[in-house]
A and B are shown apart, each in its own frame.
Chain A
Amino acid sequence: DAGVTQSPTHLIKTRGQQVTLRCSPKSGHDTVSWYQQALGQGPQFIFQYYEEEERQRGNFPDRFSGHQFPNYSSELNVNALLLGDSALYLCASSLARGSVLTEAFFGQGTRLTVV
């Protein structure tokens, strides 16, 4: 079992550009959530995808968008990058059972640096 895999591991972009990050969930998991972890802070929830739709969204602007594919993998897109978007982006996979999250597995993250 490969666990949750994310690509790329590191990325450097220029302010104003667009970026796409990718995530493959743990085998058997159907739900993908994305988190932003700024330096020295805890992860912040961006949004969650299940059945190829955005189910929940945190307090992030529309510049942040995503997609889930039929094989449950997911992409996070960020448009018009700002310096403040520099962070570690974490993908978490889980199984959609009930209304409460009981377990989530995280990938190694993508370190995005905006210059």
Chain B
Amino acid sequence: AQSVTQLDSQVPVFEEAPVELRCNYSSSVSVYLFWYVQYPNQGLQLLLKYLSGSTLVESINGFEAEFNKSQTSFHLRKPSVHISDTAEYFCAVSSSGSARQLTFGSGTQLTVLP
């Protein structure tokens, strides 16, 4: 079985400040990791993913996440946030033991304050 824990349910931060959204996973087999973003009343949009190779992955809008196998973490970071980054962020995992399904964390609401 696999699980995902997002340690912070809400993260308020001022505009242009850095932010880190934490994600830890539990799995007995190799995993693929994802971050999705959800704006109000919308579906999920893929932000970035780790499949293999470099442990640092980046998105086109300035977010990055680092896969840390020893700490079973996949934290999401951005050096300078904008008001438009306000949204719910979900960490998810898939693995060979999950039969091609995604297991999601409970989400982190990022609110960027002016």
Contact = CB atoms under 8 A, between A and B. Distances in A.
Interface of A: 4, 6, 31, 33, 35, 40-45, 48, 55-56, 58, 90, 92, 94, 96, 99-109, 111
Nearest to B106: A42
A82 to B, nearest CB: 22
Contact of A100 (B32, B42, B46, B107): B32
List the 4 shortest-distance A-B pairs measured between CB atoms, nearest first: A42-B104, A101-B94, A106-B44, A101-B100
A96 B107 contact: no
A99 to B, nearest CB: 5
Contacts of A104: 46, 102
Contacts of A94: 100
A102 B101 contact: no
Given A108-B43, A109-B43, A45 B94 contact: no
B44 A45 contact: no
Contacts of B98: 100-101
Contacts of A92: 44, 102
